[in-house]
Amino acid sequence: MPFPFPGMAPPTSMQPGDPAAVRQLFEQIAPSYDRLNDTLSLGLHRLWKRQAIAFVAPRPGQRLLDLCCGTGDLALLLAEKVRPGGQVLGLDAAEAPLELARRRAARRPWLNLDWRLGDALATGLSDGWADGAVVAYGLRNLADPLAGLGELRRLLRPGGRAAVLDFNRPEDPAGLVARFQRFYLRQLVVPLARQANLEAHYAYLEESLARFPTGSEQESLARQAGFTRIVHRPLAGGQMGLLELVA
């Protein structure tokens, strides 16, 4: 599929954490999102997502949640693993990625998958609704990461597991890992996004990372949110991070 939106205007506000701007951003990049993810990570994002799923350890019959589900690749993997009798709900604030997720799921009608447009900070689901949950590249975009972790904790039954996958903000901003990350974002991500007329949209990545909690800060926020077991693991040489949580 060719890259879309020639001459497309970027979101009117690119302020990280602004719900309306983030929603507009993902509405616009949805058709190119999966292609760019594969290109920019050399396909490794699929491995990192499988590591997140391995921690959650889904089992047949469970009810699982994919918060900030985007185009639904994680939800589809989870739905395969909870058969028979299980259920997966994918929730996202943007309609365009959800529509792509619905189309992908329609090709696998044997999977018990539901999709919902909603706010990850106020899902409307009942306490303890989920046996487990994943959040991939979503926590960084929330207006309040602590509130997001609090809602995630509320939704999990006691002992339920959650995996939060995202870019890792290095502890030392002047260190080698941080310098490589800036090089990667500025010299690889943004130029490739420019070819898709999405330069401003992907330049947002570095801005969003500047306000994102470091791994140790995420662990502290998760403790405040009420999780009982908390580990943040760097992935890809510290470029990505996996926050492993038990309710």
**pLDDT tens by residue, the chain, 247 residues:** 233 333 333 444 456 667 887 787 778 777 767 777 777 777 888 999 999 999 999 999 999 999 999 999 999 999 999 999 999 999 999 999 999 999 999 999 999 999 999 999 999 999 999 999 999 999 999 999 999 999 999 999 999 999 999 999 999 999 999 998 998 888 888 887 787 677 776 777 888 888 999 999 999 999 999 999 999 999 999 999 999 999 9
**Does residue 14 belong to any structural domain of this protein?**
no
Q: How many helices (H) does the chain have, and how many strands (E)? A: 9, 7
112 in a structural domain:
yes
In the chain, the DSSP E strands lie at: 63-67, 87-92, 113-117, 130-136, 156-167, 229-235, 240-246
Provide the domain count of the chain.
Answer: 1
- Please indicate, yes or no, if residue 3 is contained in any of the structural domains: no
**Is residue 214 in a domain?**
yes
Q: What is the CATH number of the domain that holds 232?
A: 3.40.50.150
The pTM for the full model equals: 0.88
Domain region containing 33: 19-246
> Residues of 36-62 as b/e, b for ≥16 C-beta within 10 angstroms?
bbebbeeeebeebbebbbebbebeeeb
- Is 93 inside any structural domain? yes
Do the domain assignments include residue 131? yes
Whether residue 229 contacts residue 242, with contact meaning beta carbons closer than 8 Å, is answered with no
Closest CA to 119 of 142, 145, 149: 142
Tokens of 28: 């616009």
